[in-house]
């Protein structure tokens, strides 16, 4: 009998579930996150998802969660988008409730795990993953393992300072990559300039919609995306110089606009050393939709079998 692994992608607005059976991912379920004020709200949401998938025997659970986590201890250290919870013993609490081993990671690492097994990073040992959505996240693959650092937080590319004394970031610092290049950063760029009297045809200040106007030649929309791309290229070049990766993969909603990856490739030679650039491929992620949940199920499979997927 095939073992069953539950994968959960726990985001700030929705929670995606999938069940991995053999090589297949079945029982896709999506629910709303709703308000989260304690670890028990998270447990309740997972219970609802488990019920909806209709399975009664799981071997292990994997959760990819928006925030900073300690993968080894199974602790959600800073869950900024989930009721701002800190230091919650997520893996133990869920494990008690469901009677199976539970493993957690952040949502970007979960996506990286999925890409590594089924997508653009299959067979790749050294890579950098940059996720550009509402925020900017990152993951690092070294020697085929995920580099997590001392506390599990490594790869927060969104909070690399790209503009000294730049715009205020959610993290409290100024001038982070996320303030310029995330979906919210692109929206803020447009909003600030409209306030200053810029003329534009943009009818809704939403990253996806701004991309539509950029493609039809609206000057402000084009500039907003060019600004985002500029800082992504700068960061990508620096990451290439640090890690000498085989691939840099871009994922996330903003990348789906089609305005990011090729544009970054055109600019990155300004920042990366030529010898490094010759070897690196810069690509869009292959997997779509349920990537986080799929990666979380793979996380459950690998870690419950004792496989060491991390380097730190």
Give, in order, the Cα–Cα distances in Å from 103 to each of 90, 228, 258: 9, 34, 34
Q: Choose the stretch contacting Zn ion; rule: CB under 5 A; options: 74-82, 155-163, 263-271, 287-295.
A: 155-163
Select 58 or 169, whichever has its Cβ closest to Zn ion: 169
Q: Which stretch binds Zn ion (CB under 5 A): 122-130, 154-162, 193-201, 277-285?
A: 154-162
Is 45 an interacting residue with respect to Zn ion (CB under 5 A)? no
Distance (Å) of CA 231 to CA 68, 158, 181, 271: 23, 11, 7, 11
Q: How close are the terminal C-alpha atoms of the chain, in Å?
A: 35
Please state the closest distance from residue 157 (CB atom) to Zn ion, in A: 10
Q: Which stretch binds Zn ion (CB under 5 A): 32-40, 81-89, 162-170, 212-220?
A: 162-170
With respect to Zn ion, which residue has the nearer C-beta, 173 or 288? 173
Say how far residue 39 (Cα) sits from the centre of its chain. Answer: 21
Shortest gap between Cβ of 68 and Zn ion (angstroms)?
12
Tokens coding 175:
């001038």
- Please enumerate in sequence order all residues whose Cβ is within 8 A of that of 91, keeping only pairs 6 or more positions apart, or say none: 73, 74, 75, 102, 103, 104
When the beta carbons of 66 and 176 are compared against Zn ion, the nearer one is 176
Q: 126 or 182: whose CB is closer to Zn ion?
A: 182
Residue 93 or residue 179: which is nearer to Zn ion going by CB? Answer: 179
Q: Which is nearer to Zn ion, 49 or 183 (CB)?
A: 183
Give the separation between CA 110 and CA 279, rounded to whole angstroms: 26
| 168-197 residues near Zn ion, rule: CB under 5 A | 169, 171, 173, 176
Cβ closer to Zn ion: 3 or 163?
163
Quote the least distance from Cβ 171 to Zn ion, whole Å: 3
Separation between Cα atoms, residue 139 and residue 107, nearest integer Å:
10
At closest approach, how far in Å is the CB of 167 from Zn ion? 10
Contact 42, 36 (CB under 8 A): yes
Residue 51 tokens, joined: 């019920």
Which residues from 71-90 bind Zn ion, rule CB under 5 A?
A: none
Residue 80 C-beta: closest distance to Zn ion, Å? 10
Map residues 102-141 to x or -, x wherever contact with Zn ion holds by CB under 5 A. Answer: ----------------------------------------
Q: How far is the CB of 139 from Zn ion (least distance, A)?
A: 17
C-alpha–C-alpha distance, residues 101 and 303, integer Å: 9
Instruction: Say if CB 254 and CB 186 are below 8 A apart.
Output: yes
Transcribe 150-215 into DSSP letters: TTS----GGGSB-STT-SBPTTS-BSBHHHHHSHHHHHHHHHHHHHTT------S--HHHHHHHHH
Q: Minimum distance from CB of 181 to Zn ion (Å)?
A: 12
Nearest to Zn ion of 159, 301 (CB atom) = 159
Q: Please state the closest distance from residue 224 (CB atom) to Zn ion, in A.
A: 19
159 touches Zn ion (CB under 5 A): yes
Token match 């292959």: residue?
286
Total residues in contact with Zn ion, by rule CB under 5 A: 5
What residues make contact with Zn ion under the rule CB under 5 A?
A: 159, 169, 171, 173, 176
């Amino acid at each position: 009998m095939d073992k069953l692994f539950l994968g959960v992608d726990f985001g700030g607005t929705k929670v995606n579930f999938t069940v991995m059976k053999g090589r297949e991912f079945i029982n896709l379920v999506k629910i709303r996150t709703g308000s989260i004020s304690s670890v028990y709200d998270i447990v309740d949401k997972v219970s609802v998802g488990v019920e909806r998938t209709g399975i009664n025997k799981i071997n292990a659970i994997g959760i990819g969660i928006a925030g900073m986590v300690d993968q080894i201890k199974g602790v959600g250290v800073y869950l900024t988008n989930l009721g701002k919870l800190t230091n919650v013993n997520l893996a133990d609490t869920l494990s008690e409730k469901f009677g199976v081993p539970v493993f957690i990671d952040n949502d970007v690492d979960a996506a990286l795990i999925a890409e590594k097994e089924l997508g653009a990073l299959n067979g790749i040992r050294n890579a950098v993953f940059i996720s550009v959505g509402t925020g900017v996240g990152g993951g690092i693959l070294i020697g085929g393992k995920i580099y997590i650092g001392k506390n599990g937080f490594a790869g927060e590319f969104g909070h690399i300072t790209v503009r000294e004394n730049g715009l205020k970031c959610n993290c409290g610092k100024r001038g982070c990559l996320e303030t310029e290049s995330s979906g919210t950063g692109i929206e803020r760029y447009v909003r600030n300039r409209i306030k200053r009297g810029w003329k534009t045809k943009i009818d809704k200040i939403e990253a996806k919609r701004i991309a539509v106007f950029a493609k039809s030649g609206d000057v402000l929309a084009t500039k907003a995306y060019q600004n985002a791309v500029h800082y992504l290229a700068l960061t990508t070049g620096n990451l290439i110089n640090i890690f000498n990766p085989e691939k840099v993969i871009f994922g996330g909603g903003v990348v789906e606009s089609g305005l990011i990856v090729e544009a970054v490739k055109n600019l990155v030679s300004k920042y990366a050393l030529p010898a490094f650039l010759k070897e690196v491929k810069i690509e869009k992620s292959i997997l779509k939709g349920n990537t986080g949940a799929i990666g979380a199920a793979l996380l459950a499979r690998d870690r419950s079998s004792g496989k060491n997927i991390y380097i730190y």
